[in-house]
Amino acid sequence: MATAPVAPAGYTVTVETVGAVTCVRVLDAAGGQAAQGQMASLGEAVVVDRMVTAQAHRRRGLGNFVMRTLADRALETGAVLGVLGATDAGRALYETLGWKKHATLAECVYRP
C-alpha cells in the first residue's frame, strides 16, 4: 500500500530515475545532502541499497521517509518483492517498516 510520505520540515527532496535505478536524495536548508537511498527494479523485484543518513541529520525520520518514498515507487512499477542488505542499526528501521530478516549476510571485501 502506497504511503505518500512528506519530507520533514526544512528539507527538500529530489527523486530521479535513470533506467531501472531510482535515487532519492534529501537536502538540508543549505543544500547539503542529509540522506539518500536508491533502488534498482528487476522485474517484479527491487533491490534497495546506498541508504545513508548524515550523522547531523539522524533521528529526524529521514531514513523512514527515503524508504517509504522508494517503496511507493516500487509499488508503482509492480514490484512484489524487495531485497536489501542491512547493518544492525539499519535493520531496526527496516523492521519498523515491515521488512523481515530472511538470512544473515557475510561481509566480504575484494581489493585487486
pLDDT tens track for 53-112: 999 999 999 999 999 999 999 999 999 999 998 888 888 889 999 999 888 877 788 899
**pLDDT value at residue 8:** 92
Cα–Cα nearest to 7, from 97, 68, 84: 68
Tell me the pTM: 0.89
> Which of 3-12, 16-25, 48-57 has the least mean pLDDT?
3-12
Residue 109, pLDDT score? 83
Ramachandran angles phi, psi of 69, nearest 5°? -65, -45
pLDDT (average), residues 21-32: 97
